[in-house]
Amino acid sequence: MARIVMKFGGTSVADLDRIRNVAVRVKREVDAGHQVAVVVSAMSGTTNQLVKWCQELSPLHDAREYDVVVATGEQVTVGLTAIALQAIGVEARSWQGWQIPIVTDHAHGKARVDRIEGDELIRRMEQGQVPVVAGFQGIEPGRNRITTLGRGGSDLSAVALAAALKADRCDIYTDVDGIYTTDPRIVPRARKLDRISYEEMLELASVGAKVLQTRSVELAMKARVRVQVLSSFEDKPGSLVVDEDEIMEKPIVSGIAYSRDEAKVTLRRVPDRPGVAARIFGPLSDANVNVDMIVQNIGEDGNTDMTFTVNRADLPRAQDILEKAKAELNYGALIADPDVTKISVVGIGMRTHAGVASTMFKALSEKGINIQVISTSEIKVSVLVAADYTELAVRALHTAYGLDAP
Residue selected from 47, 214, 232, 304 as contacting ligand ASP according to rule CB under 6 A: 47
Q: Is 153 in the site for Mg ion (CB under 5 A)?
A: no
3-class SS string, 255-280: EEEEEEEEEEEEEEEEECCCCHHHHH
Q: How many residues bind Mg ion (CB under 5 A)?
A: 2
For residue 4, is it left (φ>0), alpha (ψ between -120 and 50) or beta?
A: beta
Closer residue to ligand ASP (CB): 35 or 47:
47
> Residues 69-88: x/- map of binding to ligand ASP (CB under 6 A)?
----x---------------
Closer residue to ligand ASP (CB): 150 or 271:
150
Across-strand partners of 196?
241
Closest approach, Cβ 310 to ligand ASP, in A, equals: 19
Closest approach, Cβ 385 to ligand ASP, in A, equals: 26
Closer residue to ligand ASP (CB): 41 or 304:
41
Residue selected from 21, 94, 104, 154 as contacting ligand ASP according to rule CB under 6 A: 154
Closest CA to 346 of 220, 172, 174, 179: 179
Distance CA 238, CA 179 (A): 8
Q: Is 10 in the site for ligand ASP (CB under 6 A)?
A: yes
Distance CA 187, CA 332 (A): 42
Residue selected from 109, 118, 131, 153 as contacting ligand ASP according to rule CB under 6 A: 153
* C-beta neighbour count of 314 within 10 angstroms: 18
Closest CA to 343 of 253, 268, 240: 253
Looking at 152-160, 193-201, 235-243, 265-273, which segment touches ligand ASP (CB under 6 A)?
152-160
Strands 130-134 and 137-140, sheet pairing: unpaired
Closer residue to Mg ion (CB): 48 or 330:
48
Closest approach, Cβ 214 to Mg ion, in A, equals: 11
Closest approach, Cβ 378 to ligand ASP, in A, equals: 28
Residue selected from 138, 152, 153, 238 as contacting Mg ion according to rule CB under 5 A: 152
Q: Is 152 in the site for ligand ASP (CB under 6 A)?
A: yes
Closer residue to ligand ASP (CB): 215 or 398:
215
Residue selected from 151, 215, 342, 395 as contacting ligand ASP according to rule CB under 6 A: 151
Closer residue to ligand ASP (CB): 36 or 71:
71
Radius of gyration of the chain (CA): 22
Closest CA to 342 of 395, 393, 307, 396: 393
User: Quick one: the chain helix, strand, coil %, rounded to 5?
Assistant: 40, 30, 30
Q: How far is CA 118 from CA 43, 95, 130, in A?
A: 26, 12, 13
Exposure string for 290-311, b = 16+ CB within 10 A, e = fewer: ebbbeebeeeeeebbbbbbbbb
Closer residue to Mg ion (CB): 150 or 271:
150
- Residues near Mg ion (CB under 5 A): 9, 152
- Residues near ligand ASP (CB under 6 A): 9-10, 41-42, 47, 73, 135-136, 151-155
